Amino acid sequence: MTINRFRVKSDFQASQFTDLFASISEEDDGYTVQVRLYDPTKPENAAWGEEVADSVETASMLVEALATEFSIPQARIKIEIRMNKMTDGTRH
């Protein structure tokens, strides 16, 4: 099995964003990845988006690609993961 790296290209200047927030939610047909790139000292410098991934690994690779593209260090990345608990039908 080969894994292709995501390639992220943007019209934004990399220095505009200092932080990354990602929410990965398990859905019936895959994973929804919602991301927000921002600079807390400059609220006008923000971008967000949503993508669907086929696995949690692919979702993680997408977040990694964005962090790399915008040179966001690990300490400035927050990730929220919501998975279905199949045994009782609840989310956790």
Cα gap 27→47, rounded to integer Å: 23
Q: Is the predicted pLDDT of residue 42 greater than 70, yes or no?
A: yes
Mean pLDDT of the chain: 83
21 lies in a domain? yes
50 lies in a domain? yes
> How many domains does the structure of the chain reveal?
1
Cα gap 15→39, rounded to integer Å: 9
48 lies in a domain? yes
Beta carbons within 10 angstroms of residue 88's beta carbon: 7
Q: What is the mean pLDDT of residues 31-44?
A: 94
Q: Write down the pLDDT at residue 16.
A: 84
6 lies in a domain? no
Beta carbons within 10 angstroms of residue 57's beta carbon: 11
30 lies in a domain? yes
Q: What is the mean pLDDT of residues 25-53?
A: 93
| Domain range for 53 | 16-84
Tell me the whole-structure pTM to 2 decimals. 0.76
Cα gap 85→65, rounded to integer Å: 28
Cα gap 76→17, rounded to integer Å: 10
Q: Is the predicted pLDDT of residue 10 greater than 60, yes or no?
A: no
3 lies in a domain? no
92 lies in a domain? no
Q: Write down the pLDDT at residue 13.
A: 54
